[in-house]
Amino acid sequence: MPLIVQKYGGTSVAGPERMKAVARAIIARKRRGARLLVVVSAMGDTTDDLWALARRITPKPDPREMDMLLATGEQQAIALLAIAIKARGEEAVSFTGAQVGIITDSRHTRARIVRVKADRIRKALAAGKIAIVAGFQGESAGEEITTLGRGASDLTAVALAAALKADTCELMKDVKGVMTTDPRIVPEARVLPVITYDEMLEMASLGSQVLNARSVEYAKKFRVPLVVKSSFEESEGTMIVEEEPGMEKTLVRGITFAREQAKVTVLGVPDRPGIAAVLFRALASADLNVDMIIQDVSESGITKISFTVPRSDLALAMETARTAADKLGAKDVRSDENVAKVSIVGVGMLSHSGVAATMFSALAQSGVNIQMISTSEIKISVVVEKARMQTAVKALHRVFRLDTRTVEAGKPFLVEPEKIGGGRKGAGRRKRGKSR
């Protein structure tokens, strides 16, 4: 019988009625013929509420004790779900992260999984029971309770699926799957039947809320077959898979965006080896999460370096950058909060220079000015004025025909950029800076 790992998020189990609905869905899944391991998040806003409670005591609660506190959220959810399943006559047993041996390092509130034992899960499954495991938490070598960071219940599910060599890991969400873009911005957005790990990784890190990047990385590393689907309705969802030959021609899979961005530019930097190292080592030491980095081609020995950070980190980023700029003999440091990032994601797009051209000309035709460009193997990101972000997303969704194409495994599509306002193919290349 296949082994299925299912993961339900906090919204899916918020309150007794939803808990019962999830219990019914789980039992139905098992009775269709599967050994079932279910990972659950804390109910509704529990985690936020616990943070708020701790902050009413002190603004900076001790991380070790925060983990002790936060871990109770998932523990309550697994107990109640097991109660709901057993009340319907199916055998189930719940386990905390510590009990199933999800061994982590000891970085409290953001621990990383180092090993997964899962002995108790194997026993429970062998006894025909539905095993229910608390997401988001583990135990360090020193037997301290740890948590894995926000959104990491997905990671728990993926790690357990890997350890137990599960046939599928189903991430049950309050959406139908991974979409071409956010339907609140583009009503024509569609569910993608299939997407590669790498594309999903870019989507996640570029602002798609569906999955967090760590979970996708882990799934890719251990080749865990992932499915993202709705916990509220029957749907095929989105399969996340390794790249296949049939997919080679896929160009643009989806459009992502991130609103809460800020841009910092260090101006008038004498261009010599090591300047970027000085700046970004300083930013790393301040524990700042730098996103896009652009260094323009230098003119007469003077260059500038720009980068983006989450807007909440801007003050600290400016302070750090100013200190580094003094050391480097740079002229000035400027910031801009009025920016957003828009990205297109798709395997193999960089081998088709037409994609970049299509993107840039579509933006130009919609009156969206591009402030920064950054590329990787499978994505092109641009920073634009925040007020133009929606326009940009809509234009890109349209130009790459994401609203109409049927993308299925084995049925690749090929965008034909020459059909869309050609003639400016080089534009992107010229504007694009060095990317790190």
In the set 2, 31, 65, 242, which binds its own copies (CB under 8 A)?
Answer: 65
**Contact criterion met (CB below 8 Å) for 84 and 20:** yes
Q: What is each CA distance from 15 to 9, 84, 180, in whole angstroms?
A: 12, 12, 31
64 interacts with its own copies by CB under 8 A: yes
Q: Does 146 bind its own copies (CB under 8 A)?
A: no
56 touches its own copies (CB under 8 A): yes
Query: From the CB of 31, what's the least distance to its own copies, in Å?
Result: 19
Q: How many CB atoms lie within 10 A of CB 327?
A: 11
Q: Angle at Cα 115 formed by Cα 117 and Cα 290, nearest 5°?
A: 145
Which of 2, 28, 31, 62 binds its own copies (CB under 8 A)? It is 62
Q: Kindly tell me which of 87 and 284 has the beta carbon lying closer to its own copies.
A: 87
Q: For tokens 């000015």, name the residue.
A: 369
Distance CA 268, CA 275 (A): 12
Tell me the closest approach of the beta carbon of residue 68 to its own copies, in angstroms: 4
Task: Please pick, from the candidates 66, 213, 350, 427, the single residue that binds its own copies as defined by CB under 8 A.
Answer: 66
> Closest distance between its own copies and the C-beta of residue 94, in Å?
5
Q: What are phi and psi of 339, to 5 degrees?
A: -130, 160
CA gap 114, 16 in Å, rounded = 34
Task: Tell the residue number behind the tokens 């080592």, with chain if given.
Answer: 281
The rounded distance, in Å, linking the Cα atoms of 247 and 198 is 13
- Identify which of residues 95 and 413 has a Cβ nearer to its own copies in the complex: 95
Site string for its own copies, 116-145 (x = CB under 8 A): ---------------------------x-x
Compare residues 74 and 170 and give the one whose CB is closer to its own copies: 74
At closest approach, how far in Å is the CB of 197 from its own copies? 34
Answer for the pair 206, 256: CB distance below 8 angstroms, yes or no: yes
How far apart are CB 160 and its own copies at their closest, in Å? 18
Helices H, strands E: what count in the chain? 12, 19
Nearer residue to its own copies within complex by CB, 66 or 213:
66
Nearer to its own copies, 30 or 397 (CB): 30
Neighbours of 421 (CB within 10 A): 14
Q: Which residues, other chains included, contact 17 with Cβ-Cβ below 8 Å and sequence gap of 6+?
A: none
Least spacing, CB of residue 60 vs its own copies, in Å: 8
Tell me: does residue 49 bind its own copies (CB under 8 A): no
239: β partners: 194, 227
69 belongs to the binding site for its own copies (CB under 8 A): yes
254-270/293-295 β-pairing: unpaired
Our finding on whether 277 is near its own copies (CB under 8 A) is no
Give yes or no for residue 93 binding its own copies (CB under 8 A).
yes
Which of 13-21, 102-110, 207-215, 327-335 is the region at the interface with its own copies (rule: CB under 8 A)?
A: 13-21
329 Rama sector, left if φ>0, alpha if ψ -120 to 50, beta otherwise: left
Contact status: 21 vs its own copies (CB under 8 A): no
Q: Mark residues 71-90: x for contact with its own copies by CB under 8 A, - for none.
A: xx--xx-xxx-xxx-xx---
Q: Which of 14, 19, 125, 396 binds its own copies (CB under 8 A)?
A: 19
Q: Kindly determine how many residues on this chain lie close enough to bind its own copies according to the rule CB under 8 A.
A: 35
Nearest-10 crossing angle of helices 153-163, 213-221: 10
By CB under 8 A, residue 50 contacts its own copies: yes
* The pair of three-digit structure tokens given for residue 285, joined into one six-digit string: 């030491």
66 DSSP 8-state letter: H
Distance from C-alpha of 278 to C-alpha of 327, rounded to nearest angstrom: 9
Of residues 39 and 279, the one with the C-beta less far from its own copies: 39
134 touches 72 (CB < 8 A)? no
332, 368 contact by CB (below 8 A): no
Ramachandran region of residue 157, left (φ > 0), alpha (ψ -120 to 50) or beta? alpha
Give the nearest distance from C-beta 11 to its own copies in angstroms: 17
Minimum CB separation from its own copies for residue 46, in Å?
10
Answer yes or no whether residue 180 interacts with its own copies by CB under 8 A. Answer: no
Among residues 5, 7, 12, 20, the one that binds its own copies under rule CB under 8 A = 20
68 binds its own copies (CB under 8 A): yes
CA dist 80 and 218 (Å) reads 28
Provide the minimum distance between the beta carbon of 284 and its own copies in the complex, in angstroms, as a whole number: 28
- Tell me which residues touch its own copies (CB under 8 A): 16, 19-20, 50, 53-54, 56-58, 60-62, 64-66, 68-69, 71-72, 75-76, 78-80, 82-84, 86-87, 93-94, 96, 99, 143, 145
